[in-house]
């Protein structure tokens, strides 16, 4: 299985400590989550109904201003869509704008697609299936809706993964009609990744195929209840966007003083050029702060943003001390 952030198991195996000792900054999951309320008893007990799904989709459409020409489906995270995308078309030539989230290329290749990783949007042209993560993980690279709409006409199927789109709403393809398949995550921005909730929007026939593959009950009653309550909470979303922007600048200040350079990121995670990612990861890990490094770019370290003030204090100490032990 591909490596991922959130693998605190590995951190504990290498550096000791238990769950409660660690601050997990190895993901882009917001550590100032929407205040989850346990769902009503019925959400545990009964199967979600068509009405439950309709309410959830209405909340998602309103939150993201989804164009009425696009169909949508709720899934077990954006990952739920990534698992099914290889089956939407007969395997052919897929191109993925890279480096990026490793599950896109891995799943396509596992299902018989010939997968090439490309460095520019232009290089994706002509592919049977192209994948762009916007904004990109881990480097935060962004593309305009215009550029992506144009690209959609030059490939068989364009997949735009907007998993970190809530940090940069102006980039979203969702407010306009189009042919791309657009993925959204709920867990990252709302900080509730354990719920397993995400969405795919696109042309009705394409989304119909995803819906058929996902079956009647792909998401839990708790995920539906949380989505229906949290997605319309615009005050929380606006305040969170501001807080995350502030936090990103704060993290950059600590990193720069530690001798790292900003290499990119979104306001849900930062990417630093640390000179040696493995050394930088170990430096943080000695303070029980977990981060993410990448085999393809050994100088990089990706860092989520701390939440409560005591987490900021620990990060400050970790980055103020001697650079290596």
Q: In the complex, which residues of this chain contact a second copy (CB under 8 A)?
A: 1-2, 4-9, 19, 24, 27, 29, 31, 33, 36, 38, 41-51, 76-77, 79-80, 82-83, 87, 103, 107, 110, 187, 191-196, 212-223, 226
Minimum CB separation of residue 153 from a second copy in Å reads 29
For residue 79, what are the CA distances in angstroms to 163, 211, 290? 9, 14, 22
Minimum CB separation of residue 188 from a second copy in Å reads 10
Cα 205–chain centre separation: 25
Q: 114 pairs with which residues across the strands?
A: 93
Report the chain's terminal Cα–Cα distance, integer Å: 32
Strand 157-162 relative to strand 181-185, pairing = parallel
Residue 178 or 191 with smaller CB distance to a second copy: 191
Whether a cis peptide bond, with omega within 30° of 0, leads into 297 is no
Residue 135 or 218 with smaller CB distance to a second copy: 218
Give the separation between CA 308 and CA 34, rounded to whole angstroms.
14
Minimum CB separation of residue 45 from a second copy in Å reads 5
Residue 195 or 301 with smaller CB distance to a second copy: 195
Contact of 303 with 255, CB cutoff 8 Å? yes
3-state secondary structure of 126: coil
Residue 27 or 172 with smaller CB distance to a second copy: 27
Helix (H) or strand (E) holding 227: helix 221-230
Residue 59 or 173 with smaller CB distance to a second copy: 59
Residue 102: both structure tokens together = 């490793």
Residue 188 or 283 with smaller CB distance to a second copy: 188
Residue 35 or 65 with smaller CB distance to a second copy: 35
Minimum CB separation of residue 279 from a second copy in Å reads 25
Minimum CB separation of residue 216 from a second copy in Å reads 6
Residue 141: both structure tokens together = 């690279």
Contact of 223 with 195, CB cutoff 8 Å? yes
In 29-162, alpha helices (H): 41-45, 50-64, 78-84, 103-110, 145-152
Contact of 44 with 222, CB cutoff 8 Å? yes
Find where tokens 């995308």 sit: 85
Minimum CB separation of residue 40 from a second copy in Å reads 10
Minimum CB separation of residue 47 from a second copy in Å reads 4
Minimum CB separation of residue 208 from a second copy in Å reads 10
Residue 45 or 322 with smaller CB distance to a second copy: 45
Residue 157: both structure tokens together = 């199927």
Contact of 135 with 244, CB cutoff 8 Å? no
């Amino acid at each position: 299985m591909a490596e991922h952030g959130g693998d605190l198991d590995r951190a504990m195996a290498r550096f000791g400590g238990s769950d409660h000792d660690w601050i997990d900054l190895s993901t882009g999951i917001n550590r100032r989550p929407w205040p989850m309320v346990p769902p009503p008893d019925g959400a545990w007990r009964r199967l979600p109904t068509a009405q439950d799904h309709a309410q959830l989709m209405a909340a998602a459409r309103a939150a993201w201003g989804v164009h009425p020409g696009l169909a949508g489906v709720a899934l077990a995270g954006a990952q739920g869509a990534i698992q099914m995308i290889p089956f939407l078309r007969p395997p052919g030539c897929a191109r993925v704008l890279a480096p990026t989230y490793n599950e896109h290329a891995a799943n396509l290749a596992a299902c018989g697609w010939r997968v090439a990783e490309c460095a520019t949007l232009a290089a994706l042209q002509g592919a049977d299936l192209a994948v762009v993560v916007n904004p990109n993980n881990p480097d935060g690279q962004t593309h305009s809706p215009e550029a992506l709409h144009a690209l959609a006409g030059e490939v068989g199927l364009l997949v735009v993964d907007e998993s970190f789109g809530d940090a940069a709403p102006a980039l979203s393809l969702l407010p306009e009609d189009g042919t791309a398949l657009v993925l959204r995550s709920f867990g990252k921005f709302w900080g509730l990744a354990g719920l397993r909730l995400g969405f795919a929007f696109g042309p009705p026939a394409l989304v119909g195929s995803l819906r058929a593959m996902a079956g009647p009950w792909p998401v839990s009653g708790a995920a539906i209840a949380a989505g229906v309550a949290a997605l319309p909470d615009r005050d929380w979303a606006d305040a969170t966007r501001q807080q995350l922007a502030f936090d990103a600048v704060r993290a950059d200040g600590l990193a720069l003083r530690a001798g790292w350079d900003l290499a990119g990121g979104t306001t849900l995670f930062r990417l630093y050029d640390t000179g040696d990612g493995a050394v930088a990861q170990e430096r943080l890990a000695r303070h029980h702060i977990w981060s993410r490094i990448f085999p393809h770019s050994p100088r990089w370290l990706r860092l989520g943003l701390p939440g409560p003030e005591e987490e900021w204090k620990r990060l400050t100490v970790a980055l103020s001390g001697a650079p290596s032990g």
